[in-house]
Amino acid sequence: MTAVKRIAVLTSGGDSQGMNAAVRAVVRSGLYFGLEVFGVQRGYQGLLNNDIFPMDLRSVGDIIQRGGTVLQSARCKEFMTLEGQQKGADVLRSRGIDGLVVIGGDGSYQGANKLSKLGIKTMGLPGTIDNDISFTDYTIGFDTAVSVVVDAVNKLRDTMTSHERSSIVEVMGRHCGDIALHAGLASGAETILVPEVPFDMDEVAQRMQSNFEHGKRHSIIIVAEGVGKGEDVAKEIMARCPSYEPRVTVLGHIQRGGTPTPFDRNLASKLGDFAVRKLIEGESDKACGIINNQLTLTDIDLVVNTKSSIDMDMYELAIRLSQ
C-alpha cells in the first residue's frame, strides 16, 4: 500500500541545467512504481492556473541532454500569500494528486514546505546553479555552470595573454561564491572574490601589478556578483594601477544554458528517483540531497533556515596555487 497514488512534478525559480533530467527521473520512476504522474507547467503560477497534464514515458523522451526545463518556470507573487497556497493545495486535491516533487531553489522549497502543511506530501530537489542549498554537497546545474565559466575563462585567457592584459570575469552568485571559487580554481585564476570572504582591494591590485612585473602576461580575476559589479572592481583597480586597464566580461545568463554535464544528469536522475521512492514510503516535507556520495533527506524547514557555507579549504588552496 503506497502513501501516494498520483504525483505531480514542477520546476520553479531560475532554470538550471539538469532540471529536465530530474523531471525525466521523477516521471519514469513514478510510472515504474505504478503511480500516475502529472506535470505542472510554469511552476507555482501554473499550479494556481490548474495548468496540469498527465505525463507518460514519451513525455520525457529525448530531454535528458537538454538544458532549461520543458515544464517551464515562472515567478508567482500570488503563491506567496496564504490564500494562494491554499488555492494551490485545493487544485492538487481536485485532481486527486497527493504528492508533489518541486525542483528549484530556496524559494521553491519554501513553497513545498507551505503545501506540506496543507496536507500535500512534498519533496524538494535542489535545482539551482548557485550551489547555495544547504544539506547537499551539490545542486543540480552547478557542475554545468562551472564548466561554462571555465570554458569562457579559457578563451579569455588566450586573448588576455596575446595582449598582456588583465581580465575581470563576473559570474553568478549573489549570496554564494561557489561558482566563482570552483571555476576560479579549475581555470587557474589569479584572484577569486566571493561574498563570504572579506578582501582588501589594495592587495588585489598589488597582486595583479606584481604578477605583471614578474613576467606574467595575463591576470584573471573572477568576481561573484554578490561582491559587486565587475565594472566597479575594474574602476577600483584602475584607481590603484592606472597603467593596467582590466577588461570586464559579464557572463550573466549564459551560465544557466547549455547541455548539462554527465555529472548533473546523473545527480538529477538519482535525486528524482530518490524523491519518488521516499514519497511512496510516506515521507513528506523533505529536501533530497547528496552528501559524501550518499543520498540524504532533510526537513525542508531546516534547509531553508540554514545558510550554506563556502569550502574554506578549497578557497585557501586556490590562494596557494595562484602565486
Reported residue count of the chain is: 323
Q: What is the pLDDT of residue 160?
A: 81
Cα(190)–Cα(211) distance, integer angstroms = 9
Strands (E), the chain: 6-11, 36-40, 52-54, 99-104, 121-126, 166-171, 191-193, 219-224, 247-250, 286-291, 294-299
User: What are the pLDDT digits (tens) for 12-65?
Assistant: 999 999 999 999 999 999 999 999 999 999 999 999 999 999 999 999 999 999
Q: What is the pLDDT of residue 211?
A: 78
Percent of the chain exceeding pLDDT 70 equals 99
User: What are the pLDDT digits (tens) for 264-310?
Assistant: 999 999 999 999 999 999 999 999 999 999 999 999 999 999 999 99
The 8-class DSSP code of residue 127 comes to B
Is residue 150 a contact partner of residue 186, using CB atoms and an 8 Å limit? yes
User: What are the pLDDT digits (tens) for 218-270?
Assistant: 789 999 999 999 999 999 998 988 877 889 999 999 999 999 999 999 999 99
The reply to whether 98 belongs to the active site is no
Is residue 299 a contact partner of residue 113, using CB atoms and an 8 Å limit? no
3 vs 302, residue with greater confidence = 302
Q: Which residues are annotated as a binding site for ATP?
A: 14, 75-76, 105-108
Percent of the chain exceeding pLDDT 90 equals 86
Q: What is the pLDDT of residue 164?
A: 73
User: What are the pLDDT digits (tens) for 74-128?
Assistant: 889 999 999 999 999 999 999 999 999 999 999 999 999 999 999 999 999 999 9
What's the whole-number average pLDDT of the chain?
94
pLDDT of residue 1 exceeding 50, the answer is no
Angle (deg, nearest 10), helices 82-94 and 106-116: 70
- On whether the pTM is more than 0.75, the answer is yes
- Closest by CA to 44, choosing from 78, 90, 15, is 78
- Closest by CA to 22, choosing from 262, 300, 264, is 264
Annotated active-site residue in 56, 62, 98, 130 = 130
Locate 139 and state its grid cell: 545542486
